[in-house]
Amino acid sequence: MYSAPVYARSNEAPVLLVGAAHVLDLDAPLRRALGARVLDGIAVELDAERAQALLNPPARGRRPARGVPLIARLWGHLQHRLGAELGGGGAGAEMKVAAAVAGERSVPLFLIDDPIRATLASLLAALPLRERVLLLASAFAGLFLPSGVVGREVDRYAEDPEGFAEEIRRASPTLAKVLIDDRNEHMADRLVSLRARGYGRVAVVVGDAHLPGLAAALRRRGVPVEAIPFRELRAATGPSSSPS
């Protein structure tokens, strides 16, 4: 399903973009997608702080880093809860799989995202009051949503990701710009830099909402792209098993 040609020269190969969801179990299809290709490295939608917290979590009893904004704590708690209830292995499970595959194949793991604190600071500074209230309200509401409701929203996204993304842009254009568009441009720049250093055959694991914009940003920079969207990756896991 995920077979690909072998490129004699690293800089001729397209960047492989893999769209994932942060709360669903995509371990097996993600491993197949990454295992089907010759790779110079694997890149993930993480910065150093999040990678440390996810890949080397603090010992039990230690407090997490201070100074994390309330909205980040709320969304982090929500992702952990949904990851457990939807059988996704916890928030960031797909990033752990990508890191594990990089280690197993002895290729470097690249962290290509912006620092989370700077991103959140930019977001909070840019958000108009209406969007700020909407964001906080949705984060609080999400803490009490039944996982079955969220599962159905995941299904709806898989069927029409473009329409779902457009709804988000209409509801909060600032959120879409800061959390998706700006980060796509910065991640594309980092991938171009890696390519210039000889890492052309790179697989990039990102949240699926980043896939169209990141692909477009890379193509504007003259980089060929191949993409495996979430809907295709998820299809390899079989029918939805979202709890009701």
For 175-222, the pLDDT digits (tens) are 899 989 999 999 999 999 999 999 999 999 999 999 999 999 999 999
Distance in angstroms (rounded) separating the CA atoms of residues 144 and 154: 17
* Structural domain boundaries enclosing 203: 10-59+66-235
Token pair recorded at residue 179: 């959390």
Report if residue 163 sits inside a domain. yes
Residue 242 in this model has a pLDDT that exceeds 50: no
- Residue 58's pLDDT is 67
Radius of gyration in angstroms for the set of CA atoms belonging to the chain, rounded to a whole number:
18
Domain count, the chain: 1
Residue 171 lies in a domain: yes
DSSP notation for 116-185: HHHHHHHHHHH--HHHHHHHHHHHHHHTTS-HHHHHHHHHHHHH-HHHHHHHHHHH-HHHHIIIIIHHHH
Average pLDDT of the chain, as a whole number:
79
Rounded to whole angstroms, how far apart are CA atoms 54 and 198?
A: 28
Q: 65, exposed or middle or buried, with CB in 10 Å at 0-12, 13-18, 19+?
A: exposed
pLDDT digits (tens, 9 = 90+) for 119-163: 888 988 898 988 888 777 776 555 555 556 556 666 666 677 787
Confirm whether 225 is domain-assigned: yes
In a domain, 52, yes or no: yes
Average pLDDT over residues 219-243: 78
Percent of residues, the chain, with pLDDT higher than 90: 42
